[in-house]
Amino acid sequence: MSTTTAHTLIEKTKDFSIEETFVFLANEYKDKVVFSTSFGQEDQVITALIAKSDAAINIFTLDTGRLFQETYDVFHKTLKKYKKHIQVYFPEATDVQNLLNAKGPNSFYESVENRKECCFIRKVAPLTKALNGNAVWITGLRAEQSENRNDLHLFEYDEKFEIIKFNPLLKWALKEVEDYLEKNNVPQNALHNKGFVSIGCAPCTRAIAEGEDIRAGRWWWESSHKECGLHQG
Protein backbone atom coordinates (compact mmCIF):
# COMPACT_ATOMS: atom_id res chain seq x y z
CA MET A 1 0.00 0.00 0.00
CA SER A 2 1.34 3.42 -0.90
CA THR A 3 0.56 6.93 -2.07
CA THR A 4 0.31 5.50 -5.60
CA THR A 5 -2.43 3.14 -4.42
CA ALA A 6 -4.32 6.08 -2.91
CA HIS A 7 -4.17 7.97 -6.22
CA THR A 8 -5.37 4.86 -8.06
CA LEU A 9 -8.35 4.53 -5.72
CA ILE A 10 -9.27 8.18 -6.28
CA GLU A 11 -9.35 7.52 -10.03
CA LYS A 12 -11.24 4.21 -9.79
CA THR A 13 -13.99 5.57 -7.54
CA LYS A 14 -14.34 9.09 -8.92
CA ASP A 15 -17.83 8.41 -10.31
CA PHE A 16 -19.04 6.35 -7.34
CA SER A 17 -21.37 7.43 -4.58
CA ILE A 18 -20.10 6.97 -1.02
CA GLU A 19 -22.17 3.78 -0.66
CA GLU A 20 -20.82 2.41 -3.96
CA THR A 21 -17.29 3.21 -2.84
CA PHE A 22 -17.85 1.30 0.41
CA VAL A 23 -18.99 -1.77 -1.54
CA PHE A 24 -16.06 -1.47 -3.94
CA LEU A 25 -13.53 -1.24 -1.10
CA ALA A 26 -15.11 -4.14 0.79
CA ASN A 27 -14.82 -6.32 -2.33
CA GLU A 28 -11.34 -5.10 -3.27
CA TYR A 29 -9.88 -5.54 0.24
CA LYS A 30 -11.97 -8.35 1.70
CA ASP A 31 -12.13 -8.28 5.52
CA LYS A 32 -9.48 -5.55 5.61
CA VAL A 33 -11.61 -2.38 5.55
CA VAL A 34 -12.34 -0.75 8.90
CA PHE A 35 -14.18 2.33 10.11
CA SER A 36 -13.29 4.06 13.36
CA THR A 37 -16.18 5.82 15.06
CA SER A 38 -16.24 8.18 18.03
CA PHE A 39 -20.02 8.60 17.58
CA GLY A 40 -19.67 12.23 16.55
CA GLN A 41 -21.94 13.69 13.87
CA GLU A 42 -19.69 12.82 10.93
CA ASP A 43 -19.12 9.30 12.19
CA GLN A 44 -22.85 8.78 12.65
CA VAL A 45 -23.43 9.75 9.01
CA ILE A 46 -20.82 7.21 7.92
CA THR A 47 -22.28 4.47 10.12
CA ALA A 48 -25.69 5.10 8.55
CA LEU A 49 -24.19 4.98 5.04
CA ILE A 50 -22.32 1.73 5.79
CA ALA A 51 -25.56 0.19 7.04
CA LYS A 52 -27.40 1.44 3.96
CA SER A 53 -24.75 0.01 1.61
CA ASP A 54 -24.60 -3.30 3.49
CA ALA A 55 -20.87 -3.37 2.72
CA ALA A 56 -18.72 -5.80 4.70
CA ILE A 57 -16.90 -3.11 6.68
CA ASN A 58 -15.80 -3.67 10.26
CA ILE A 59 -16.65 -0.84 12.67
CA PHE A 60 -14.65 -0.15 15.82
CA THR A 61 -14.42 2.48 18.53
CA LEU A 62 -11.85 3.51 21.12
CA ASP A 63 -13.05 3.64 24.72
CA THR A 64 -10.51 5.84 26.49
CA GLY A 65 -12.12 5.31 29.89
CA ARG A 66 -12.96 9.01 30.18
CA LEU A 67 -15.86 9.43 27.77
CA PHE A 68 -19.11 11.33 28.42
CA GLN A 69 -22.15 9.30 29.45
CA GLU A 70 -23.89 10.90 26.47
CA THR A 71 -21.34 9.20 24.20
CA TYR A 72 -22.17 5.81 25.66
CA ASP A 73 -25.87 6.63 25.20
CA VAL A 74 -25.50 7.28 21.46
CA PHE A 75 -23.26 4.19 21.19
CA HIS A 76 -26.09 2.08 22.61
CA LYS A 77 -28.74 3.70 20.40
CA THR A 78 -26.56 3.11 17.32
CA LEU A 79 -26.22 -0.58 18.12
CA LYS A 80 -29.99 -0.87 18.52
CA LYS A 81 -30.83 1.00 15.30
CA TYR A 82 -28.35 -0.50 12.86
CA LYS A 83 -27.82 -3.97 14.37
CA LYS A 84 -24.13 -3.85 13.42
CA HIS A 85 -21.35 -5.04 15.69
CA ILE A 86 -18.98 -2.32 16.91
CA GLN A 87 -15.67 -3.65 18.24
CA VAL A 88 -14.36 -1.80 21.30
CA TYR A 89 -10.65 -1.23 21.94
CA PHE A 90 -9.40 -0.11 25.35
CA PRO A 91 -6.03 1.28 26.47
CA GLU A 92 -3.70 -1.14 28.25
CA ALA A 93 -4.71 -1.15 31.91
CA THR A 94 -1.08 -1.24 33.08
CA ASP A 95 -0.20 1.85 31.03
CA VAL A 96 -3.13 3.82 32.46
CA GLN A 97 -2.33 2.61 35.96
CA ASN A 98 1.33 3.62 35.65
CA LEU A 99 0.41 7.06 34.28
CA LEU A 100 -1.99 7.83 37.11
CA ASN A 101 0.39 6.51 39.76
CA ALA A 102 3.21 8.65 38.38
CA LYS A 103 1.38 11.88 37.49
CA GLY A 104 -2.15 11.73 38.90
CA PRO A 105 -5.48 11.79 37.04
CA ASN A 106 -5.23 15.27 35.47
CA SER A 107 -1.62 15.55 34.29
CA PHE A 108 -2.81 16.46 30.78
CA TYR A 109 -3.72 19.98 31.97
CA GLU A 110 -0.10 20.70 32.96
CA SER A 111 1.63 20.61 29.56
CA VAL A 112 1.12 19.72 25.91
CA GLU A 113 3.64 16.90 26.37
CA ASN A 114 1.61 15.41 29.23
CA ARG A 115 -1.60 15.75 27.26
CA LYS A 116 -0.09 13.99 24.26
CA GLU A 117 1.22 11.25 26.55
CA CYS A 118 -2.31 10.66 27.83
CA CYS A 119 -3.72 10.72 24.28
CA PHE A 120 -1.08 8.23 23.16
CA ILE A 121 -1.90 5.77 25.92
CA ARG A 122 -5.67 6.10 25.70
CA LYS A 123 -6.12 6.59 21.95
CA VAL A 124 -3.09 6.17 19.69
CA ALA A 125 -1.85 2.86 21.10
CA PRO A 126 -5.33 1.23 20.96
CA LEU A 127 -5.82 2.62 17.44
CA THR A 128 -2.54 1.05 16.34
CA LYS A 129 -3.84 -2.31 17.56
CA ALA A 130 -7.20 -1.80 15.82
CA LEU A 131 -5.64 -0.91 12.46
CA ASN A 132 -3.03 -3.66 12.48
CA GLY A 133 -3.40 -6.01 9.51
CA ASN A 134 -6.00 -3.88 7.72
CA ALA A 135 -5.72 -2.20 4.32
CA VAL A 136 -8.20 0.71 4.39
CA TRP A 137 -9.19 2.95 7.28
CA ILE A 138 -12.40 4.97 6.86
CA THR A 139 -12.56 8.21 8.86
CA GLY A 140 -15.02 11.05 9.45
CA LEU A 141 -12.52 13.82 8.77
CA ARG A 142 -13.77 16.98 7.07
CA ALA A 143 -11.57 19.70 5.60
CA GLU A 144 -13.35 22.55 7.39
CA GLN A 145 -12.83 20.98 10.85
CA SER A 146 -9.38 22.56 11.21
CA GLU A 147 -6.56 24.18 9.25
CA ASN A 148 -4.54 20.98 9.61
CA ARG A 149 -7.16 19.13 7.56
CA ASN A 150 -7.50 21.55 4.65
CA ASP A 151 -4.93 19.73 2.53
CA LEU A 152 -6.32 16.22 2.99
CA HIS A 153 -7.36 14.06 0.03
CA LEU A 154 -10.29 11.69 -0.42
CA PHE A 155 -7.83 8.79 -0.34
CA GLU A 156 -4.35 9.15 1.13
CA TYR A 157 -1.59 6.98 2.48
CA ASP A 158 -1.00 7.32 6.21
CA GLU A 159 2.69 6.59 6.74
CA LYS A 160 2.37 6.54 10.51
CA PHE A 161 -0.04 3.61 10.51
CA GLU A 162 0.96 2.28 7.08
CA ILE A 163 -2.61 2.22 5.79
CA ILE A 164 -4.80 3.88 3.15
CA LYS A 165 -7.25 6.38 4.65
CA PHE A 166 -10.59 7.08 3.02
CA ASN A 167 -12.22 10.36 4.06
CA PRO A 168 -15.69 10.16 2.43
CA LEU A 169 -17.07 13.36 4.03
CA LEU A 170 -13.96 15.40 3.30
CA LYS A 171 -15.77 18.10 1.30
CA TRP A 172 -19.00 18.10 3.29
CA ALA A 173 -19.98 21.22 5.21
CA LEU A 174 -21.30 20.90 8.76
CA LYS A 175 -24.77 21.90 7.50
CA GLU A 176 -24.77 18.94 5.10
CA VAL A 177 -23.85 16.61 7.97
CA GLU A 178 -26.61 18.01 10.18
CA ASP A 179 -29.17 17.82 7.38
CA TYR A 180 -28.34 14.17 6.67
CA LEU A 181 -28.65 13.23 10.33
CA GLU A 182 -32.00 14.98 10.65
CA LYS A 183 -33.46 13.66 7.40
CA ASN A 184 -32.46 10.06 8.15
CA ASN A 185 -33.27 10.07 11.87
CA VAL A 186 -29.72 9.07 12.79
CA PRO A 187 -28.94 8.81 16.54
CA GLN A 188 -26.93 11.79 17.80
CA ASN A 189 -25.01 12.69 20.91
CA ALA A 190 -27.26 14.85 23.12
CA LEU A 191 -24.29 17.15 23.78
CA HIS A 192 -24.55 18.53 20.23
CA ASN A 193 -27.65 20.42 21.37
CA LYS A 194 -25.64 21.99 24.20
CA GLY A 195 -22.94 23.67 22.11
CA PHE A 196 -20.57 20.71 21.82
CA VAL A 197 -19.40 20.21 18.23
CA SER A 198 -16.24 18.11 18.42
CA ILE A 199 -16.61 15.66 21.32
CA GLY A 200 -13.76 13.67 22.86
CA CYS A 201 -12.90 12.78 26.44
CA ALA A 202 -14.99 14.53 29.09
CA PRO A 203 -12.14 16.37 30.87
CA CYS A 204 -10.78 17.66 27.55
CA THR A 205 -13.97 18.86 25.83
CA ARG A 206 -16.17 21.90 26.37
CA ALA A 207 -18.99 23.61 24.53
CA ILE A 208 -18.07 26.41 22.12
CA ALA A 209 -19.56 29.87 21.82
CA GLU A 210 -21.14 31.21 18.66
CA GLY A 211 -18.43 32.18 16.17
CA GLU A 212 -15.71 30.07 17.78
CA ASP A 213 -13.69 27.62 15.69
CA ILE A 214 -15.11 24.08 15.50
CA ARG A 215 -12.09 22.68 17.36
CA ALA A 216 -12.06 25.39 20.03
CA GLY A 217 -13.75 23.10 22.53
CA ARG A 218 -11.01 20.49 22.37
CA TRP A 219 -8.04 21.01 24.76
CA TRP A 220 -9.22 24.61 25.10
CA TRP A 221 -6.41 25.49 27.53
CA GLU A 222 -3.79 24.89 24.82
CA SER A 223 -2.57 26.96 21.88
CA SER A 224 -1.44 23.81 20.04
CA HIS A 225 -2.72 22.46 16.72
CA LYS A 226 -5.51 20.65 18.61
CA GLU A 227 -4.69 17.13 17.40
CA CYS A 228 -4.28 14.00 19.54
CA GLY A 229 -2.07 12.01 17.19
CA LEU A 230 -4.72 9.85 15.55
CA HIS A 231 -4.63 11.85 12.32
CA GLN A 232 -1.11 13.19 12.20
CA GLY A 233 1.51 11.45 10.11
CA nearest to 61, candidates 169, 200, 191, 162: 200
Q: What does the DSSP assignment read for 164-175? A: EEE-TTTT--HH
Cα–Cα distance for residue pair 230/192, rounded to 1 Å: 22
> Beta strand pairing status for 163-166 and 155-158?
antiparallel
Active-site residue, 228 included: yes
CA nearest to 232, candidates 134, 159, 167, 142: 159
Cα–Cα distance for residue pair 161/169, rounded to 1 Å: 21
From the list 118, 119, 201, 228, the catalytic residue is 228
Q: Is the dihedral of CA 49, 134, 41, 159 positive or negative?
A: negative
Which positions are annotated as active-site residues?
Answer: 228
